[in-house]
Amino acid sequence: MTSENPTPETAKNVIFMLPDGASTSYLANYRYFKEGPDAPVWEPLLKGMVQTDSLNNPITDSAAGANAYATGVKTRNGSVGVDFFGNELTSVTDLASDAGKATGIVSTAAVTDASPAAFGASNPLRGNQADIAQQYIGDNQLDVVLGAGRNQFTTESEGGTQPDGTDLFGLAEQQGMTYVSNAQALANFDGERVLGLFNNEDYLDAIGERPAEEPSLAQMTEVALSTLSKDKDGFVLFLEEENTDTFGHSNDAATTMHALSSFEASMQKVLEFQEANPDTLVVMVADHDTGGMTVQPAAEASPAVFRDFTETAEGMAEQFDAANATSIRDTVDKYTGLTLSDDEITGLQGSEDIPLALAELLSAKGGVEFTTTGHTAADVPIFAVGPGADLFTGVQENSAVGQHIAEAMGMSLPLDQQNGGADRLAVTSLFDSAFGSIPAVNTVRNLVTQLGDESLDSLADRLSSFWSGLDNTEFLSSVLENTLDTAPEAADLAYWGGFLAANGGDRGDVLLQISELPAHREALLELPVSEAEFSPIA
């Protein structure tokens, strides 16, 4: 579905949709799962492919992946809203809020989980979910927060993670947010700010009969759109389907397909809104691939079989008696309509991990296999419609996506966050080689800003001038020791002395070359994260 109205040059609204872990193979299998004459709603919107690596690993996690989309900067796995050294970053959510726009996050995960956290908080460790919850409320920036993970907001005496005496719900109410805890209350909501937390789990249910208190992703999407669109200045909304990733890790293909069906229903609502509001940019992209899913449909084994499943493989395994073949057979038949053979049941009973073995067995019934229970480095497709959609054409880094979202709104992320944060790392590396220490973030920002007027070479020349009173050997000894954290060997001094002589004594060039040594980059990437305080009301 695309709008027939003229597309404005600048996006008033941005809706960023993330089917976590759902790479090309997920979308291909979903086509077979769905069947029928209608293609999935995202297919006409395909623009390109996204490279998903993080700064320190070719295989990203959800934290670093979402960080690239939210801030335009690659970071280390495990961090949200910060650069590699733990320095806080500006996100597209921040840009929108500063421009007077409404902002929101909606997820079938705990709202404090890695992906939504990158769009609403800053923390060097994604696991600090109690701190992230405090930021959501303490920063008073997000207007809509909907999803799972109520326990991250409740106190320890209530079974949650917040210190006793902390009242995040009271603070949220003081700031004009209405708190809702079930689907009916959400449906009845008609205000301007809402906090909705619908269970104490890591995710909302993905398959089978939904608990009465849990809204669907489509229902949460409708409320988010109707609420945020009341802001005349526009909005930025992050929408995530988490269960594609959660059950990709479990190698449970059936549940990932049901999760994608939930996601498509949500996207249908979003595209209807976009058609009526052509000044809205919609972007859909996964953060990475999960599981290395294969696509091997056949007449006797197609993902279409998964449509009749009503329980996860893990849920089935929790219900049957693994020592009783009849219990296994009856339970699987009840929730899938499939009858396992005696050999298949015997194989399950001999497995060290019965839930995983069952998931793999049932996935194979639909022509799907997995190569890992982790993530892979596969590229992921990106889809877009609305103002700025063509910015996402071609193959690009995940960090470029964040830059383009800002550009589509007619805004820019800070200069030191552009180029994927590469200038931040280059300046930090150069400074460390020059002085033997990691510069403060404001120093880095100032130096990166100066790169607008001078190249990295010129900055290296300027920094090398600090050794004007030293001879070449003293200069090289100091720089090499700063870089490698150990006194240089005679052979290293001789090599770099020869290099310095060959380039006409250009110390700036030598400083830059030494700062870019692979061993130096590796050492920087092994530094522990900053312990800066990111909990504003702790």
Q: Is 62 a residue of the active site?
A: yes
Q: Domain of 458?
A: 421-525
226 annotated as ligand-binding: no
- Three-state DSSP at 45 gives helix
Tell me if 531 is assigned to some domain. no
- Three-state DSSP at 74 gives coil
Same domain, 360 and 378: no
Strand order in the sheet with 46-51: 178-180, 194-197, 144-148, 102-110, 235-241, 13-19, 280-285, 380-385, 46-51, 394-397
For tokens 């961090």, name the residue: 79
Same domain, 159 and 228: yes
Handedness of CA 245, 247, 248, 254 (dihedral sign): negative
Burial class for 499, CB neighbours closer than 10 Å (0-12, 13-18, 19+): middle
Hey, what are 338's tokens?
A: 């499939």
404 annotated as ligand-binding: no
Same domain, 436 and 408: no
pLDDT tens for the chain, residues 1 to 538 = 444 566 778 999 999 999 999 999 999 999 999 988 889 999 999 999 999 999 889 999 999 999 999 999 999 999 999 998 888 999 999 999 999 999 999 999 999 999 999 999 999 999 999 999 999 999 999 999 999 999 999 999 999 999 999 999 999 999 999 999 999 999 999 999 999 999 999 889 989 888 989 999 999 999 999 999 999 999 999 999 999 999 999 999 999 999 999 999 999 999 999 999 999 999 999 999 999 999 999 888 999 999 999 999 999 999 999 999 999 999 999 999 999 999 999 999 999 999 999 999 999 999 999 999 999 999 999 999 999 999 999 999 999 999 999 999 999 999 889 888 888 888 889 989 998 888 887 888 888 877 765 688 888 998 888 888 889 999 999 999 999 889 989 999 999 999 999 999 999 999 999 999 998 988 888 887 766 666 555 4
113 annotated as ligand-binding: yes
- Three-state DSSP at 449 gives helix
Tell me if 6 is assigned to some domain. no
When divided into structural domains, the chain yields a total of: 3
240 annotated as ligand-binding: yes
Same domain, 322 and 451: no
107 annotated as ligand-binding: no
Which one from 62, 79, 229, 478 is the annotated catalytic residue?
Answer: 62
Same domain, 220 and 71: yes
Same domain, 117 and 81: yes
Read off the CATH number of the domain in which 17 is found: 3.40.720.10
Q: For residue 131, how many C-alpha atoms fall within 13 Å in the half-sphere facing its CB?
A: 17
Same domain, 212 and 233: yes
CA 530 vs. chain centroid, Å, equals 20
115 annotated as ligand-binding: yes
Same domain, 253 and 202: yes
Same domain, 398 and 481: no
Tell me if 172 is assigned to some domain. yes
Tell me if 70 is assigned to some domain. yes
Same domain, 344 and 430: no
What is the torsion angle, in degrees rounded to the nearest 10, for the CA atoms of residue 439, residue 422, residue 13 and residue 43?
A: -150
245 annotated as ligand-binding: yes
Same domain, 407 and 425: no
Going by C-alpha positions, the residue among 86, 122, 91 that lies closest to residue 428 is 86
